[in-house]
Amino acid sequence: MGRLWPVLVAGMLCLAGAGQAQHRIGYVDTEYILSKLPEYQAAQQRLDQMVRDWQAELDRRRQEIDRMFEEYQARELLYTPEERRRRREEIARAEEALDRLRQQYFGPEGELFRQQETLLRPIQERVLEAIEAVARDQGYDYVLDKAAAPVLLYAPPEHDLSDRVLAELNVNVDSRN
């Protein structure tokens, strides 16, 4: 239903427009717009570096746990039953700590989510405000996002508002790459 929803909305908009005055529908490509914003690129690079650092830490801890397990397997027969139990518990605690750290970084409410909210949300809101301003100024009733809704099967270039939105954001673009 998730991908079908934009198609249904677009269909209803078209049907509603058939009996009334025609609606003007435009579209933007938010991926294109964001790719032209230096502050978005800088924020994305910062996020990418954080992800690399966090992943490197998780990889180091995984290697440490693997080393602990290999050592345990190599010496298992030499340990007393009490020592075997203690070592297995130590490995299990290390696994649990790794899972908690992974959730802390990449979970639904994790650090990555918080950093995205902090770094990207203000830029995305600025873009949305610019889209709304262009739509109002140009007389569009509806604006679809080509990047977010891959159901846009055909879109004439004259209804693409992306460069106008960039102009609203004071970004000079000669032509699309």
Backbone angles phi, psi at 146, to 5 degrees: -65, -35
Residue 177 lies inside a defined structural domain of this protein: no
Backbone angles phi, psi at 129, to 5 degrees: -60, -40
Residue 140 lies inside a defined structural domain of this protein: yes
- In this structure, are 64 and 90 located in the same domain? yes
| pLDDT tens sequence across 64-99 | 999 999 999 999 999 999 999 999 999 999 999 999
Q: What share of the chain in percent tops pLDDT 70?
A: 82
- In this structure, are 68 and 90 located in the same domain? yes
45-67 mean pLDDT: 98
- In this structure, are 100 and 115 located in the same domain? yes
Number of domains into which the chain is organized: 2
Q: 9-18, 65-74, 101-110, 111-120 — which is least confidently predicted?
A: 9-18
| pTM, rounded to two decimals | 0.69
Ranges assigned E (strand) in 29-167: 142-145
Q: Provide DSSP, 65-96.
A: HHHHHHHHHHHGGGS-HHHHHHHHHHHHHHHH
- State the CATH number of the domain containing residue 14: 3.30.910
- In this structure, are 111 and 128 located in the same domain? no
Name residues whose C-beta falls within 8 Å of residue 45's C-beta, 6 or more positions apart in sequence: none
What's the domain range around 59?
Answer: 41-119
- Name the residue with tokens 């190599």: 74
- In this structure, are 25 and 59 located in the same domain? no
Is the confidence at residue 31, as pLDDT, over 80?
yes
* Cβ-contact 125, 119 below 8 angstroms: no
- In this structure, are 90 and 52 located in the same domain? yes
Backbone angles phi, psi at 27, to 5 degrees: -145, 160
pLDDT (0 to 100) of residue 141 = 84
- In this structure, are 31 and 72 located in the same domain? no
Measure the CA–CA gap between 2 and 106, rounded to whole angstroms.
23
- In this structure, are 52 and 109 located in the same domain? yes
- In this structure, are 15 and 47 located in the same domain? no
| pLDDT tens sequence across 113-139 | 999 999 999 999 999 999 989 988 988
